[in-house]
A = this chain, B = another copy of it.
Amino acid sequence: MDSDLICEDNKIHDEVCEQVTVDMPDENELYDVAELFKIFGDSTRIRILSALAQAEMCVCDIGAVLNMTKSAVSHQLRILRQAKLVKNRRNGKEIFYSLDDDHVLSIINLALEHIKE
């Protein structure tokens, strides 16, 4: 990872590298962005979010709509909850989930647009 790195000595390359290095967004921000995308990067979770985009739903019903066990749904909902992408409220035995933020949908929709090309 040392002798393997740099192109032959070349001022133009060095200048570009330095400029890009300086202008790079904050390392931690990029890390957080990647973490966010990692959560979107699973078809099960995207399907859950798409379902919740249409109606507040309980775990059981999400499972019914997506043909998954309650357990599998619950595991994914925990991840979505920790990422603050969904919120929930209890009503008797049932726990209803909904999107936490409209931002979530705009990101998915932007990606959907990109796909259709």
Contacts and interface: CB of A to CB of B under 8 A. Distances in A.
B25 A65 contact: no
How often does this chain occur in the complex, in copies? Answer: 2
Given A40-B34, A112-B33, A17 B50 contact: no
A64 to B, nearest CB: 5
Which of the listed residues A13, A38, A69, A111 has the most CB atoms from chain B within 10 Å of its own CB? A111
A112 B4 CA distance: 32
22 contacts: A5-B67, A6-B60, A6-B63, A6-B64, A16-B55, A17-B57, A17-B61, A19-B54, A24-B47, A24-B51, A27-B47, A33-B40, A34-B45, A34-B46, A35-B43, A36-B111, A36-B114, A37-B111, A39-B41, A40-B41, A107-B107, A107-B111
Interface of A: 1, 4-7, 13, 16-17, 19-21, 23-25, 27, 29-43, 45-47, 50-51, 54-55, 57-58, 60-61, 63-65, 67-71, 94, 101, 103-104, 106-108, 110-116
